[in-house]
Amino acid sequence: MAYIAKDYTKLIGMEGFGQTLLNNHFTLYQGYVTNTNKLTDILAAMLKEGKTATPEYAELKRRFGFEFNGMRLHEYYFDNLGGKTALDKSGALAKKLAAAFGSYDAWEQDFKATGAMRGIGWVVLYQDDVTGALFNQWINEHEVGHPAGCRPLLVMDVFEHAFMIDYGLKRADYIAAFLKNINWKAVESRVK
């Protein structure tokens, strides 16, 4: 089954995100979808041909995680954008954030601080499927650093392509724009 890129053009016009930046980002995402499909096909053919004990198979297996997670993280990211309303402070997610961090404001401070760290990558608010605990995590490359057994609730891209066209080196301004555009209903739908 081939993966199909989702259409996120509804995000064009979102405050704080220029059309050029978004169109470039959508194109990058499409590349991850395309490469995930290519690798799926190549690996299936190699398996069928009995070429699994080769260095090429091993490297393509490793590369698959990068391409697949690049695709999926962008889907989480775009899906949790486009919101126009603040988080319902009496809702389940707000209560979980307050329990985990002491308050919504403390969670937001930690999320911003994580996103402002030097480097490229992602910031993900995770929920531990075992304990239900919430925590913010820095992910450097797509396939490295994801805590096992944890569900991504909110995903923010902090690779330069996500903000440089509109914000240059002002990552904090991008993070502020991101936080203003969170689709909290999408985030809340991911909570268990």
Which CATH number is associated with domain 92-189?
3.55.40.20
pLDDT at 8 over 90: yes
Mean pLDDT score of the chain: 96
Within 10 Å of residue 22's Cβ, how many Cβ atoms?
21
Nearest-angstrom CA–CA distance, 156 and 135: 14
Structure tokens at 140: 């450097």
* Banded pLDDT at 137 (limits 50, 70, 90): very high
Percentage, residues of the chain above pLDDT 90:
96
User: What are 1's strand-pairing partners?
Assistant: none
pLDDT digits (tens, 9 = 90+) for 31-44: 999 999 999 999 99
Q: What is the pLDDT of residue 161?
A: 95
How many CB atoms are closer than 10 A to CB 8?
Answer: 18
Enter the tokens of residue 50.
Answer: 């009995």
Q: Enumerate residues 6+ apart whose C-beta is below 8 A from 61.
A: 43
User: Which of 180, 159, 183, 174 has the alpha carbon at shortest distance from 28?
Assistant: 159
% of the chain at pLDDT higher than 70 = 100
